[in-house]
Structure 1
């Protein structure tokens, strides 16, 4: 496993269930991240994240605590992403949710790592706008 990690924190003005569903339910994921998605938010379940055909990726749920934590380890993806884990840890604060995002296990601080960190920041902003304002950015316009 690698030694490089990506971290982003954000506040989302919504219920914890809305945020958990937004990061774990395929019908919500497709509104801010992949073009198509299948999977069930349960431990050991497989997710398929489909972007264009050359990015038809798979991962396995390694943590699933409803309304608290959801993590996936990539099993079939880009060589830099394979065996990395990304996840969302949630905490209710005030009228909303503190979302702590992580993408760990990178073996190199290379161009893919840096680009992925940048893209995650933009995508998480899209997640926030999707949950708070029901804004869906067309897939072709996402980073």
Structure 2
């Protein structure tokens, strides 16, 4: 099964990264403005991207250095996949290791999502470092149709 794996590092505190992944105002600041739900383990978060659809993520893990979601509603290719954020702390910097695992195949949508995740992870890094991300609908567009 193919996986999307990305990373970035920052000198900003790991707690700030964790808050951006677990608080609604943080998620709205880097991924999409339309987020609802709760980020506790076993809870559901809903991420909506206007006419492009929405995703329900069940929170599988939420501790100081790990956040993991399972897609339970959304595009067929995403159903059952896991989105993992692992924060690795070092004295010099903090590293975010991202994985979107469980894809059935590498198809055009997989490639699209891989690039979009890269843009959103840079949005997350910018939000952590400057307080300003680029969430949908103000995200970096990669497709001619505007997504």
Same fold (TM over 0.5): yes
The aligned residue for residue 10 of structure 1 is 8
Number of aligned residue pairs: give it.
Answer: 140
Unaligned residue ranges in structure 1 (runs of 5+) = none
Normalised to the residue count of structure 2, the TM-score between the two structures is 0.88
Moved beyond 4 Å, runs of 4+: none
Unaligned residue ranges in structure 2 (runs of 5+) = 141-147
> SS at 2:134's partner residue?
coil
Listed as ranges, the matches of 1:22-101 within 5 Å are 22-65=20-63, 67-101=64-98
User: Structure 1, residues 70-129: CA drift from partner, whole Å, max 9, x if none?
Assistant: 000000001111111101001111243110000000001001111111111111011111
CA contact (8 A) 1:13 1:96 kept: yes
What is the Cα deviation at residue 4 of structure 1?
1.2
CA contact (8 A) 1:14 1:95 kept: no
What is the Cα deviation at residue 53 of structure 1?
4.0
User: Structure 1, residues 14-34: CA drift from partner, whole Å, max 9, x if none?
Assistant: 111100011121111111102
> SS at 2:105's partner residue?
coil
In proportion to residue count, which structure has more strand? Answer: 1
